[in-house]
A and B are shown apart, each in its own frame.
Chain A
Amino acid sequence: MTLSTPWGLGWLALLPVLYWLSLPPRPRRFEFTAHFAEWQAALAALRRRPRQAGLRFVLLASALVAIALAAAGAAVPGRPGPQRLVVLLDRSASMLASAPAGSASARAAARLAAAFAALPEPVELTVLTIGDGLERRHGASARHLQDLPAPAGGLDVDLAALAAATATADTAVWTLTDGQGQRGLPTVGALTVLAARGDNAAVLAVVVQDQWPLPTLQVAVEVVGYTAAPAAAELLVEGSVEPVPPVPLQLAPGEVVTHTLQLVRQPAGGELRCRVRLPGDVLAADDGQTLWLPPLPAPRIAARSDGEAGPFVRAAAAALAAEVAGQVVAAGAGDDVGLLLVDGGRVLLTPGTQRVLTFGTALRADGELVAWREPRAIDWDRRSPLTAGLDLSELRLDTAWRGVLPDGEALLWAEHAGQRVPLAVVVGDERCASVHFAFRLQDGNLPLLPAFPQLLRRAFVRCYGAGAALRVLSAPPVVGELDLRTAAAAPDRALPSFATPEQDLAAWCVLAGLALLALRSCVR
């Protein structure tokens, strides 16, 4: 017991006074009596109890001692030890590996919950979850394990170094890991190794060559197996494609097997799941990958032209329809078409809001068109998705029109007075775009170039924007989290004893004093 204000014990100086006050009234005499029974009978007749002055004084003195201790700040000294606990919790993908006692992740959560329940309240708690990024939780959130992230990703942190850097005299470190992806386990602080070893197969990558807007696509699936011996597995391809039978695979330990499939998607698009099935696989999270296939576009292509236009726009529409497996339809008001080709003339529309491909078409009613004879030094953007890889060096234009192009991303231009003047622009965003050329088809040899059909197809795809893009829905597996046969191991180490604060006994002493006083009042 410690006393923070020892001078409070000065109250004990009142003890002699209390003793003096507790003495019975004078005269105080001691007598032998031959009539003890008569004295008792007299007391009983008067319903009096014998005085217990000694007990009354002892109770009063005890109450005074208790109050003096309270005044002196009596306290039970605390226990030295760490006052903070930092938990390094491995939440990498391999923590999902199953075992008879549950996944390593679930076992870690259970161990933490049990330990936190017994953790003294004053201990400051921090939980660092390390997996797909590093997250920190502190205080009550950490104590209640709120919103623990699902195990994912790799363990990019050296747990041993982190534990060594975190541990101090006041801070205890507790590492919970499966030992996967670590060169060595921490040698500092408490350690819990949640081993979950076993065979594992994973889909490393899915390489897709999409021929959208055509329904065909080529899928190359890379599979690896980490097993003790060569094992037979199956590759399953499911989702919004025409059914594919399971593909048997023979997996050698640690070797990547690539299998290529030609698939035909369903027009509505949707998920494409590639999954490997290995008997005894302990980690299911990396067994497959999921892609999202865009739906096929509406294959209706319309073409409009002014009276001076030649046959090129019709031919272009037919070529594009052949390219995307569509059909040419008449352009009527209110019709739903996949792409509108306009050659010459004037069309009132807002660029970038409709899937339109225009050639020398004025987009505003009041725009003044100025002819530009024989533009020279025509060049194109080599990095634009529309023109990259195309050969437009043979492009010759008789006439181009100034004032027909809206503001946008230039992909074709000509030199004039030392400056680049756009001849074609793309306007729009990822959802919808329109492509505009500053010349009509009959004003140059563009329709005759070999790159023209490809340019049309690319313009079609670009007009659809992200709607034509394939999306990857699942994260790629982390290489270090796949081989579950070689996890680092070490014996577990328990948590140290944490510091306990000094416990103030003043309130208890006051209570005891009051109780003793109450008891004294009941004793005659």
Chain B
Amino acid sequence: MKRRAVTLPPPPPALSAPFRELLHALLARGVRLRGERTETARARRTALSQSGTFVGHRPYTRGDDLRRLDWAAYARSGEFFLKQLEQEERRSVTLWLDLSPRLAAGSPPRRLAAVRLAAVLGGLALRRLDGLTVLAPGHSPPVATFAGAADLDGLLRWLDSLPYSISAPDRGPELALQRSLPGRVHWLSDFARPKACERPLLALRRRGVKVTGWLPAIADDRGPVARGALRLVDPESGDELMVAVDDALAAELERQLATLARQQDRLFAQAGCRLVRWPVPAADDLRLEAWSAMLTEAAR
């Protein structure tokens, strides 16, 4: 087996202008992303007071406490806004992005779908929840926080700047637990090494963190897309294989990939978490309908 230095293509420009238009359209559909209450104001969880320092507004989403509506803002704008006060219990989401070079695989690359998925989830969080934290182990800095709909552009810029980077899966929970990051964790990865994912997933679950795994499913996850000579490269290690893909090998690979899918499902099921296999639409398929299924999964 050969091994050579791998030169990865630059991460694809995932957040182009047409996608931003799609993103705004998706966010405007009012889908509510489920957040988790923070631990910082646990004592006030049931309090009715609205004490605290006013720090801004956020749009109303279904389920919000009507008592926190800013009626004055409604009178000015005709839209419902909730006042956000410091020291208030916050509903937030953490996105954990896997920057592994493995995500360069696929056509379109899985990385393109992962970044776009992070943009949608992050946008929903900024639009509907109180805060968003993005973990990107391997990037510097590895943690970024965003709050409010106005931070959407900052989030998109930050996502577009993420490189490929190799880091151990343990690094994600380590970052999250060091900072007592709040909320639900959405882990975006290919989960191609289920055993390596087992320990960080259990570490988060032991702390009571709810984790949703997002696996942008590409065609390569089901089997070889064509027959013929194929030079395969592992983007992480640089290992190479020359294979002649025929029906027998395709069938065997499909069997191996089905086994991998079962291992991934078992991993999340044993941790009491949900794994969402999201069929990635084509790179240029920016129709709203193509992304609506993802919104449905995000709202669950």
Whole-angstrom CA separation of A363 from B231 in the bound complex: 125
A53 with B228: CB separation less than 8 A: no
Which of B192, B244, B252, B255 is close to A35, meaning CB atoms less than 8 Å apart? B192
| Complex contact B231–A29 (CB within 8 A) | yes
**B102 CB–A CB distance under 8 Å:** yes
Q: B110: CB under 8 A from chain A?
A: yes
Complex CA distance for A34 and B237, rounded to whole angstroms:
11
**B241 contacts A36, C-beta separation under 8 Å:** yes
What residue in chain A is nearest B260 (Cβ atoms)? A38
Residue A416 at the chain B interface, CB threshold 8 Å: no
Indicate if A383 sits at the interface (CB-CB under 8 A).
no
For residue B298, CB closer than 8 A to chain A, the reply is: no
Q: Is the CB of B248 closer than 8 A to any CB of chain A?
A: yes
Closest chain A residue to B110, Cβ basis: A34
The reply to whether A27 and B226 contact each other, CB–CB distance below 8 Å, is yes
Contact of A51 among B8, B220, B243, B260 (CB under 8 A): B243
Whether A52 pairs with B260 at a CB distance below 8 angstroms is no
Chain A residues near B233 (CB, 8 Å)?
Answer: 30-33, 36
A24-B242 contact, Cβ under 8 Å, with A31-B233, A32-B104, A35-B260: yes
Residues from chain B with Cβ under 8 Å of A27 in the complex: 226, 228-229
Q: Given A34-B220, A35-B260, A38-B257, A50–B226 Cβ distance below 8 Å?
A: no
Is A52 a contact partner of B231 (Cβ separation < 8 A)? no
Q: Which of A24, A26, A39 lies in contact with B232, CB distance below 8 A?
A: A39
Q: Is B185 an interface residue (CB 8 A)?
A: no
Is the CB–CB distance between A42 and B228 below 8 Å?
A: no
Q: Does B256 contact A (CB under 8 A)?
A: yes
A117 in contact (CB, < 8 A): no
Interface size counted on chain B using CB atoms at 8 A: 37
- Cβ-based interface call for A494 (8 A): no
Size of A's binding interface in residues, CB under 8 A: 27
Does chain A have a CB within 8 A of B230? yes
In angstroms, Cα B252 to Cα A48, docked, is 12
B106 engages A34 (CB within 8 Å):
yes
Contacting residue for A24 out of B1, B229, B234, B256, CB 8 A: B229
Give 1 or 0 for each of A18-50: 1 = CB within 8 Å of chain B CB. Answer: 000000111111111111111111110110101
Report B236-258 residues with CB < 8 Å from chain A CB.
237, 239, 241-244, 248-249, 252-253, 255-257
* Contact between chains at A43 and B248 (CB < 8 Å): no
Contact of A51 with B105 in the complex, beta carbons under 8 Å = no
Q: Cα distance A24–B8 when bound, in Å?
A: 24
**A194 vs chain B, min Cβ distance (A):** 68
User: Which of B8, B235, B242 lies in contact with A53, CB distance below 8 A?
Assistant: B242
In whole Å, how far is A3's beta carbon from the nearest beta carbon of chain B? 36
List A residues 76-99 near B (Cβ within 8 Å): none
Does A34 lie within 8 Å of B228, measured CB to CB? no
Q: Contacts A30-B233, A35-B260, A36-B239 given; indicate if A25 touches B228 (C-beta within 8 A).
A: yes
- Known contacts being A32-B235, A35-B257, A42-B256, is A26 close to B103, with CB within 8 Å? no
Contact in complex: B243, A41 (CB < 8 Å): no
B residues in contact with A34, CB < 8 Å: 102-103, 105-106, 110, 190, 192, 220, 235
Q: Which residues of A contact B252 (CB under 8 A)?
A: 42, 45-46
Which B residues lie within 8 Å of A48 (CB)? 243, 249
Q: Which residues on B sit within 8 Å (CB–CB) of A24?
A: 228-229, 242, 244
CA distance A24 to B101 in the complex (A): 27
Contact call A38/B229, Cβ cutoff below 8 A: no
Are B249 and A29 interface neighbours, CB within 8 A?
no
Specify which chain A residues have a CB less than 8 angstroms from the CB of B257 in the assembled complex.
Answer: 35, 38
The answer to whether A42 touches B253, judged by C-beta atoms less than 8 angstroms apart, is: yes
Residues of B near A42 (CB, < 8 A) are 249, 252-253, 255-256
Q: Which residues of A contact B102 (CB under 8 A)?
A: 32, 34
- Contact assessment for A29 and B253 in the assembled complex, using a CB-CB cutoff below 8 Å: no
| Closest CB in chain B relative to A37 CB, distance in Å | 8
Instruction: Name A's B-contacting residues (CB within 8 A).
Output: 24-43, 45-46, 48, 50-53
Cross-chain pairs A/B with CB under 8 angstroms, 13 sampled = A24-B229, A27-B226, A29-B228, A29-B231, A30-B233, A32-B102, A33-B105, A34-B105, A34-B190, A35-B257, A36-B233, A42-B249, A51-B242
Known: A31-B230, A32-B233, A42-B255. 12 other contacts (CB 8 A): A29-B226, A30-B233, A32-B8, A32-B234, A33-B232, A35-B105, A35-B253, A36-B239, A37-B192, A41-B256, A51-B242, A51-B244
Chain B residues in contact with chain A, CB under 8 A?
A: 1, 8, 101-106, 110, 190, 192, 220-221, 226, 228-235, 237, 239, 241-244, 248-249, 252-253, 255-257, 259-260
